[in-house]
Structure 1
Amino acid sequence: MAPQTASARRLTSENSRTKDVEQVAIFSDVAMRHNVGVLEYSRTCQAAASGMASGILGLTGVSGFIFYFFFVVLQALFWEMKANFEWQNYFTSRSLSLTHSLISGLFTYILFWVFLYGMVHVY
């Protein structure tokens, strides 16, 4: 075995130090804001569309809320599939695709649900 030169010893010591250092995830603030904005927009559209569907179908009570939460879970599944189940590349938390703007989406859902139920089944 040939003796190591000073530069080869330096590279070896640098490699051993980098192996000991923990990997830290770095996120782009602009990209994360964009991803959350797209998620917000799609949740609002999904809530409006499913609220219209439940109002037209005439769902009432608990079945209407179950309808909303079914579509929330379905949308989260679509987001996971679109991200190839590598959510850490797009969001800081896995639950974000399921829980982000859940309540504001629920209010949008109820607005469209009640409006279209009244238009189709009451008037």
Structure 2
Amino acid sequence: MSDNSELYKYFEPTVQHNTLALSNIHTLTSWGVGTAAGILGLTGWNGFIFFLINWAVISGLVLGIKCQGKPSVYFKSSIMDVAGTPMLNTLLSYVLVWTLMHALVYIYD
């Protein structure tokens, strides 16, 4: 009986809505952080370390504020949905904006 209750623990449209909202948060913050990294002139590993620090801060804020410390209530695989899974897509957006802003500020003076 416990396996059957696990099947109906989550309402799928709500989980999809939460995942979409989380994706929007991560995408918009990656654009902002990428803009900041480009304007600050970060290059190489400094830019990636800047991304990882900001990723940890944003994920912590989402876990603490939006999920109220209980991500398993809002997502199926809890912390992996909040901090791990969308990282590669967000990293690609970050690198795109980071290089664009760096080129606009420092190369085309």
TM-score range normalised by the length of the shorter chain: 0.7 to 0.9
What is the one-letter code of the residue matched to 2:105? Answer: V
Determine the structure 1 residue equivalent to 2:32.
Answer: 49
RMSD (Å) for aligned C-alpha atoms: 1.4
The structural deviation recorded for 1:69 is: 1.1
**What are the Cα deviations for residues 6-37 of structure 1, in whole angstroms up to 9, with x where unaligned?**
xxxxxxxxxxxxxxx64834101010000000
> Aligned pair 1:89/2:70, yes or no?
no
Determine the structure 1 residue equivalent to 2:46.
Answer: 63
> Aligned pair 1:78/2:74, yes or no?
no
Determine the structure 2 residue equivalent to 1:103.
Answer: 88
Determine the structure 2 residue equivalent to 1:119.
Answer: 104
Determine the structure 2 residue equivalent to 1:7.
Answer: none
**Structure with the higher fraction of residues in helix conformation:** 2
Structure 2 Cα separation of the partners of residues 22 and 116 of structure 1: 52
Gaps of 5+ in 1: 1-20
> Aligned pair 1:37/2:37, yes or no?
no
Determine the structure 2 residue equivalent to 1:8.
Answer: none
Gaps of 5+ in 2: none
4+ long deviations beyond 3 Å = 21-25
* % identical equivalent positions: 25
Count matched residues.
Answer: 103
The structural deviation recorded for 1:100 is: 2.6
Provide the TM-score with structure 2 as the length reference: 0.87
Moved more, 31-40 or 77-86: 77-86
**Greater Rg over alpha carbons, structure:** 1
Structure 2 Cα separation of the partners of residues 99 and 65 of structure 1: 16
Provide the TM-score with structure 1 as the length reference: 0.78
What is the one-letter code of the residue matched to 2:34? Answer: G
